[in-house]
């Protein structure tokens, strides 16, 4: 049964339809003149589904598309119905309103589904090897700042905390697929699924589309999936760091023992595809916080050529590096599994931080600053030419100064970071640190900078 209602939000008269059980989790659909009837019927079996539209002809098919009213009206709609936290799904312009709302009010959106959504235009893409540095510009802070890349329109995606599914239509779509892929990379916990049927994915491949959306919305968090996987094998948690293994009769186990006995089996589970194995591995990291699991993740990820699978890998690292609670296994993995290997260090640093130098601003989302802080502190062995631009950008953000200092200090001490002393000294002199900071004087002397100018 579909209920019909109306209300006014921000002076705009809205119509909306509601279906599904009253106690179901709320889900708002924004199909932007697309026909999502099959999807709505499937989702309304267990969810409370809302379909709002700005009425023009008293029917959704004649409604104004979402780009004309946007995220402010969508958030006002949620407020009017007392929907504190929802799942959002949108296509095209409806997806734009959805991701803008998720970026503006991250706490309001639990999960986000976007079908063939146009990414904002980006003037230019920054990569360390594409930047020529004129060191004469470093005469003062203003000139230095002007030599660094400015924020781009994709940076807002870094503010989204919702688990996100992005559905793309492949090479026959009018939307640039590389931009959609970049959009998915910028969202901390996102995955990209390509169904190569063009722009109208829901119409050209309805069964595949509905299954992808329903499976995503029904999916458990990685940690819970890992807990169930272990339980199916008789391994059950009994305390914060203790487990029992009924299957082998070993009795009480530590998290470290569980990691050593089961992480290889999880990352080698032939019943799962590679992407699901990686998510299972990250779920074990969430449960156990043991480096042994990340060793198996890194081993399983070697030689991955598929960009969607690589995205799962690096988004797994990025989301955990930006999480409020530090994960020792993840930061140790950066150093031991990726940054110490000459074959992987450049790719790893670029994926976890290097591509995001435009986001390193004073008003950056806290998740971005946490990730930057943890990566910088672990980057001692990253070659200077790989990390230089990120260090310079981070030096503009006071909250990251200590992390930059620690990165330079570790590079100096272990000798494997290929530290360029003159350029590192220039960065160091830009940092605002207490004069009695431990090892600061030692580092200034080693780099030949002397007292702070």
DSSP string, 68-114: GTHHHHHHHHHHHTT--SEEEEEEHHHHHHHHHHHHH-GGGEEEEEE
In this predicted structure, the answer to whether residue 133 has a pLDDT above a threshold of 60 is no
Instruction: Return the bridge partners of 54, or none.
Output: 14, 64
Q: Taking the model in full, what pTM does it have?
A: 0.80
More confident: 214 or 144: 214
Whether the CA torsion 421, 427, 430, 433 is positive or negative: it is negative
Cα(364)–Cα(159) distance, rounded to whole angstroms?
A: 8
* Long-range contact set of residues 269-274: C-beta below 8 Å, sequence gap at least 24: 274/300, 274/304, 274/306, 274/309
pLDDT for 158: 85
pLDDT for 414: 78
Q: What is the mean pLDDT of residues 55-59?
A: 49
DSSP state, residue 64: B
pLDDT for 120: 79
Q: What is the mean pLDDT of residues 7-11?
A: 89
More confident: 58 or 307: 307
Q: Give the neighbor-by-neighbor strand order of the sheet with 25-30.
A: 3-9, 12-19, 47-54, 25-30, 86-91, 109-115, 163-168, 190-194
Digit-coded pLDDT (tens) for 392-434: 999 999 999 999 999 999 999 876 667 889 999 999 999 999 9
- Pull the structure tokens for residue 222: 């990685």
- Taking CA atoms, 398 is separated from 266, 323, 395, 432, in Å, by 41, 20, 7, 7
Average pLDDT, the chain: 87
In this predicted structure, the answer to whether residue 17 has a pLDDT above a threshold of 90 is yes
pLDDT for 417: 64
Cα(442)–Cα(453) distance, rounded to whole angstroms?
A: 16
What is the percent of the chain where pLDDT is above 90? 67
pLDDT for 449: 59
pLDDT for 147: 45
Q: Give the neighbor-by-neighbor strand order of the sheet with 242-245.
A: 235-237, 242-245, 251-254
In this predicted structure, the answer to whether residue 197 has a pLDDT above a threshold of 50 is yes
Is 382:417 a contact under the CB 8 Å cutoff? Answer: yes
In this predicted structure, the answer to whether residue 135 has a pLDDT above a threshold of 80 is no
Q: Provide the 10 A C-beta neighbour count for residue 289.
A: 21
In this predicted structure, the answer to whether residue 130 has a pLDDT above a threshold of 80 is no
H or E, element range at 166: strand 163-168
Residue 247 confidence class, pLDDT cut points 50, 70, 90: low
Helix axes 384-394, 366-377, angle to 10 degrees: 140
User: Considering the domain 3-119+154-218 in this protein, what is its CATH number?
Assistant: 3.40.50.1820
In this predicted structure, the answer to whether residue 353 has a pLDDT above a threshold of 80 is yes
- Taking CA atoms, 126 is separated from 145, 148, 149, 281, 302, in Å, by 15, 10, 7, 31, 26
pLDDT for 60: 44
Cα(175)–Cα(166) distance, rounded to whole angstroms?
A: 13
Q: Where are the domains of the chain?
A: 3-119+154-218, 220-302, 307-453
Is 27:49 a contact under the CB 8 Å cutoff? Answer: yes
Residue 347 confidence class, pLDDT cut points 50, 70, 90: very high
């Amino acid at each position: 049964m579909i209920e019909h209602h109306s209300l006014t939000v921000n002076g705009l008269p809205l119509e909306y339809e509601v279906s599904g059980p009253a106690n179901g989790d709320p889900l708002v659909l924004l199909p932007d003149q697309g026909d999502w009837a099959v999807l709505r019927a499937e989702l309304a079996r267990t969810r409370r589904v809302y379909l709002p539209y700005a009425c023009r002809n008293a029917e959704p098919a004649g409604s104004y598309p979402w780009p004309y009213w946007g995220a402010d009206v969508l958030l006002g709609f949620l407020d009017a119905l007392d929907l504190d936290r929802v799942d959002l799904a949108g296509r095209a312009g409806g997806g734009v309103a959805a991701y803008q709302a998720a970026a503006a009010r991250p706490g309001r959106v639990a999960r986000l589904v976007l079908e063939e959504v146009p990414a904002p235009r980006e003037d230019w893409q920054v990569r360390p090897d594409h930047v020529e540095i004129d060191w004469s510009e470093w005469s003062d802070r203003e000139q230095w700042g002007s030599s660094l890349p400015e924020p781009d329109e994709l940076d807002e995606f870094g503010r989204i905390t919702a688990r996100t599914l992005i559905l793309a239509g492949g090479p026959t779509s009018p939307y640039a697929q590389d931009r959609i892929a970049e959009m998915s990379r910028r969202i901390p916990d996102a995955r990209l699924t390509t169904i190569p049927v063009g722009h109208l994915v829901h119409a050209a491949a309805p069964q595949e589309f509905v299954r992808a959306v329903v499976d995503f919305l029904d999916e458990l968090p990685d940690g819970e999936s890992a807990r169930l996987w272990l339980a199916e094998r008789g391994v059950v948690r009994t305390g914060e760091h203790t487990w029992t293994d009924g299957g082998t009769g070993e009795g009480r186990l530590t998290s470290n023992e569980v990691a050593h006995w089961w992480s290889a089996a999880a990352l080698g589970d032939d019943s799962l595809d590679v992407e699901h194995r990686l998510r299972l591995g990250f779920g074990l990291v969430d449960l156990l916080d043991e480096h042994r699991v990340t060793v198996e993740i890194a081993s399983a990820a070697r030689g991955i050529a598929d960009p969607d699978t690589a995205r799962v890998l690096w988004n797994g690292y990025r989301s955990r590096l930006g999480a409020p609670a530090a994960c020792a296994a993840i930061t140790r993995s950066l150093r031991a599994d990726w940054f110490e290997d000459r074959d992987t260090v450049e790719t790893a640093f670029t994926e976890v931080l290097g591509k995001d130098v435009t986001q390193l601003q004073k008003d950056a989302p806290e998740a971005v600053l946490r990730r930057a802080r943890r990566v910088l502190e672990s980057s001692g062995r990253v070659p200077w030419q790989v990390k230089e631009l990120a260090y310079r950008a981070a030096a503009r953000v006071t909250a990251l100064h200590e992390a930059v200092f620690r990165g330079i200090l570790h590079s100096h001490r272990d000798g494997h970071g290929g530290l360029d002393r003159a350029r590192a000294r220039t960065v160091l002199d830009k940092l605002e640190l207490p004069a009695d900071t431990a090892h600061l004087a030692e580092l200034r002397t080693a780099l030949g900078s002397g007292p702070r100018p």
